[in-house]
Structure 1
Amino acid sequence: MAAKELINVIRPIVAISTYITFTALAMYEHPECHEELMHGDNNYFEMFVQEVRRYYPFTPFLGARVHKDFVWNQYEFKKGVLVLLDVYGMNHDSQIWSDPDEFRPGRFKEQKDRTFSFIPQGGGDPGKGHRCPGEGITIEMMKASINFLVNKVDFEVPEQDLTYSLSRIPTLPESGFIMKNIRKKL
């Protein structure tokens, strides 16, 4: 029981730190968003965070074993079979998202029911299905990180390898995200 609870403490820390790394990467790769972020508008912070969670792959896929035979959309799932959910693919599916390979926070301006079409931390209603119960905390921590990185400090990003592999979980840029000459804004 103690080990399980320890994992429940560590897991959200890994998730949040990974998403904060991708938030910093998004700010670096999409400087056109910087001006909006400097104004500290909570609505824009929310849109930016949601787009980071959609665009960047915290986890490219999730795996599970089928516990009981069932049929879904005319496809038979047999007990014991390993199935993979293509999280990255769904978050980049052109049938769900217009211009899915473009980083556009404005796509989240309209509130749509994305219970099963936007699944960076699971799908469904957190009260009824499997969606990460720490999702709200993750989003708020990402917004706080944006505010800190944009409005509280200045820094430089040295040359580094910011590519990431869709075969790793969690996914991170090869170099992490290195900053130098970090100083408090006056």
Structure 2
Amino acid sequence: MALNQFPHERTKLKTTPDYAHFFIQEVRRYYPFFPFVAAKVKADFTWNDYLFEEGTLVLLDIYGTNHDPKMWENLDEFYPERFAKWQGDLFSFIPQGGGEYETTHRCPGEQLTIEMMKLSLEYLLNKMDYEGTIYNKG
């Protein structure tokens, strides 16, 4: 979708080393795979004067966090370059959950997802004419 909506990105992807990484991260931020994930509170804690009790079902707002104006400048703009010097942490960019893979609620398949997106991106850049048909370059 991003390659079609933002055609200028195709040129950058073909000419700029490492740009695919930034592009993929921005796709994951801009178009989340799902809007939220569910989890249960492991231990009582208070956040913003609200008590979260152990065992309570909570929802992590992935879309909202990845479009939060407190964390992202120009959040409604598709801008892969934001990831070139991104200094966020594992809780501010949460396309597949937040935190560490081993101890918190982050998808252990995230790196596999990124690698699959790289392969898909390569195919889409080299095999699509963006008029709706697929062609073979050899």
Q: Does 1:44 align with 2:19?
A: yes
Other-structure match for 2:129: 155
Other-structure match for 1:134: 109
**Alignment size in residue pairs:** 138
Other-structure match for 2:76: 101
| CA displacement, residues 12-51 of structure 1 (integer Å, 9 cap, x when unaligned) | xxxxxxxxxxxxx11111111010112372x100000000
CA RMSD in angstroms, aligned pairs only: 2.0
% identical equivalent positions: 49
What is the CA–CA distance in structure 2 between the aligned matches of 1:185 and 1:100, rounded to whole Å?
A: 36
Gaps of 5+ in 1: 1-24, 158-179
What is the CA–CA distance in structure 2 between the aligned matches of 1:79 and 1:154, rounded to whole Å?
A: 50
Other-structure match for 1:31: 7
What is the CA–CA distance in structure 1 between the aligned matches of 2:67 and 2:88, rounded to whole Å?
A: 17
Gaps of 5+ in 2: none
Per the normalisation by structure 2, the TM-score is 0.87
Other-structure match for 1:165: none
Per the normalisation by structure 1, the TM-score is 0.67
- Shift of the 114–70 alpha-carbon distance from structure 1 to 2, 3 Å rule, reads closer
Other-structure match for 1:182: 134
Describe the SS at the equivalent of 1:183. Answer: coil
* Greater share of residues in helix: 1
Larger RCO: 1 or 2 (CA < 8 Å, sep 6+): 1
